[in-house]
Structure 1
């Protein structure tokens, strides 16, 4: 390798990219010393400057040699006069994140604050540091990360999207709505961050889980405004929480929007929604849902179809008969119990012949 480096120097082809490759090769070998190669850079006409130091640190951290990377900084400063910059500490903190080592991350962050100060431009460093704290698994991890976030804010500094995503997920896990809303209002409302679908889904899940279904439709509206388009999972999550919160008018509107965009309710939502719409005598929406289920083969067809016919028979007997016959024609089993209930209702209004017609088709299956 060094013969190649010498040859490249003779040809005037050496660059920092060359030594980045050298550092990476040496770092991959636990017995080698990339730091020694850094110190010998002047022998090849290269400067031991901060970009070269950062290239060394990056190679060591990628090779999971975080301790060696940390140790390189004071040596480079003392023996070569090379000072670290914000990128240097961002690289180290990214290494801490990869190593899942919050203890070392705190030490590196404190050293950075002491040596070069907190620079608003060094977003990657703050992202990695706070993400490391949040993902540590400690019972106090979220609180500690929020405390450090407050420290950064006092210095007019802020992490970026990576932290925001991790923090939202941590708030969801902790079922901590107030902190999540404060965070959302700060990053989205004040700083102008455009959330992606995952971030919106996290807030919808948190608001819905904690019993605030009236809020989640607003997130869906914001998604469309920001060009973030919900998928079937997002729609089903919103639909589910509206149903569970008994916000049936809103649920009906979301269902209409879903099918307009060619997304279908999942099995659990089909069953729950049909029952709730029919129990509240919202016959039109219930029938609309049933038609969607039949046309797209959405389960549970047999259970739902029998429920539809049984609920319709008392107030909309002609439609109950219509959908019972349609089920039979489609090969969807109408239960003997449902047929018996239809018979009772039809006999009362002297329409026993309709039951006989249905019964003949039913027996022919």
Structure 2
């Protein structure tokens, strides 16, 4: 059985971050491993757990005893089942031979914080006998992803007092990188300016901040930080210039035509500056420019640049090929895109789920369910193909919902659940919204209840769409049952639920 990373550890661009907060995050948690026992326990809990009965009933029934490793591996498989994971944790805590470890706490804290149950996450931290810096870094990332930047900075400040560990430069860089990744660059710059004297500021930290300014389209501020770095005697490297190049190319508007040409000219200036400093552009540098050609729908330029790379002896990566394939697919040249996938495989490069998603998005645009289903089956059956990602499943769910292919939709949904990588909040939101549009209210309600029982807090728009639809369809009794269910769950969601008060709706 092939296992994929459950912690979201990938970048959307071919650009490597200076430290990559996501990659750093992956090292904070144990990785999922092949374990038949963990598979069995997680399946028992997911399929047979009753929220109104004690957790130990189903576990004692199957005579399961836990080691620390088995507990951690089971919790990793329950990453999308926060309520069940929490119940399992409390059950493990009550055992005579307590299998809980620091990693068990970290996994559960990350699971709870992922669905914004921060009160419960903090409660667990305070219960820990041995609090480590890693635990706080996990929480910090989840707080920032939820937009709670002040709380994240306060949690960073609490590290030394609550753990007794002195905060290092790498952890400071992690905080700045995570803030920048989620677009809170001004907060990152403010933290940097206040605390830079406490840490050894190096090229990694400056590159993170340059990346942040580029991410929000403030290229002039990125250049200012580059000049400040050089002024301090810190030499930029190829990653720094790739970050700058990424800012020039990926954030720029390419329409009308003149803007595309201006973007390419600016990119060439960055290439020139790199060469003047004795830094050779690498595969990432070319991949960034190829991405611009893809966005601008320039298939011929994309193919020419790919050829130029090969002539220079630079081997394209999966991200490089994916940019060109995306361009070809968006221009309707699917046959050439398929040929390029074949070239990738011949060169020993396995296409990623993102590569296939280029095709699925084009099929979705064409409303070509047959083509999408054919490629999906190939991905699942061909061992050379990448397994579908959660994003792949969500694209397919939207397509088959739109086409009203009930059996295929059910098949894809079940495949996603069996794969262990989903469903997530987006999956449920896609299903509920699509079913509401089709006025399939009872099915929408079933997914809504399942979503809540699995610990996902519905978005307001989902909440309101279902509410209005049920009222307009004279299903007031169904709405009252749903509302009661939500009120029961308000204890689980704690303070996050208070924003979901509904005003009376008039038809």
Length-normalised TM-score, structure 1: 0.51
Distance 2:338 2:275 in 1: 29
Per-residue deviation, residues 69-100 of structure 1 (Å, max 9, x unmatched):
3332013323x332212232234334433554
Superposed counterparts of 1:1-365, under 5 Å? 4=268, 11-24=278-291, 26-27=293-294, 28=296, 32=300, 34-61=302-329, 65-78=333-346, 80-116=347-383, 119=387, 122-135=389-402, 138=403, 140-190=404-454, 192-208=455-471, 209=473, 210-212=475-477, 213-218=479-484, 221=487, 226=493, 227-228=496-497, 229-230=499-500, 234-237=502-505, 240=506
Residues 119 and 157 of structure 1 are in contact (CA less than 8 Å); yes or no, is this contact kept in structure 2?
no
Q: Which has the higher contact order (CA 8 A, sep 6+)?
A: 2
| Structure 1 residues not aligned, in runs of 5+ | 241-267, 269-365
- The structural deviation recorded for 1:172 is 2.0
Residues 24 and 60 of structure 1 are in contact (CA less than 8 Å); yes or no, is this contact kept in structure 2?
no
Which protein has the larger Cα radius of gyration, Structure 1 or Structure 2? 1
Residues 134 and 167 of structure 1 are in contact (CA less than 8 Å); yes or no, is this contact kept in structure 2?
yes
Distance 2:424 2:332 in 1: 24
- The structural deviation recorded for 1:126 is 1.0
Distance 1:48 1:150, change over 3 A: same
Distance 2:413 2:298 in 1: 36
- The structural deviation recorded for 1:205 is 3.2
Supply the RMSD in Å over aligned alpha carbons. Answer: 3.7
Length-normalised TM-score, structure 2: 0.39
- The structural deviation recorded for 1:37 is 3.4
Distance 1:185 1:9 in 2: 58
Per-residue deviation, residues 232-262 of structure 1 (Å, max 9, x unmatched):
xx4232xx4xxxxxxxxxxxxxxxxxxxxxx
Distance 2:369 2:438 in 1: 19
Residues 23 and 56 of structure 1 are in contact (CA less than 8 Å); yes or no, is this contact kept in structure 2?
yes
Residues 393 and 412 of structure 2 are in contact (CA less than 8 Å); yes or no, is this contact kept in structure 1?
no
Give the total of aligned pairs. Answer: 231
| Structure 2 residues not aligned, in runs of 5+ | 1-263
| SS of residue in 2 equivalent to 1:84 | coil
| SS of residue in 1 equivalent to 2:300 | coil
Distance 1:187 1:119 in 2: 24
Deviant stretches of 4+, over 6 Å:
none
Residues 48 and 82 of structure 1 are in contact (CA less than 8 Å); yes or no, is this contact kept in structure 2?
no
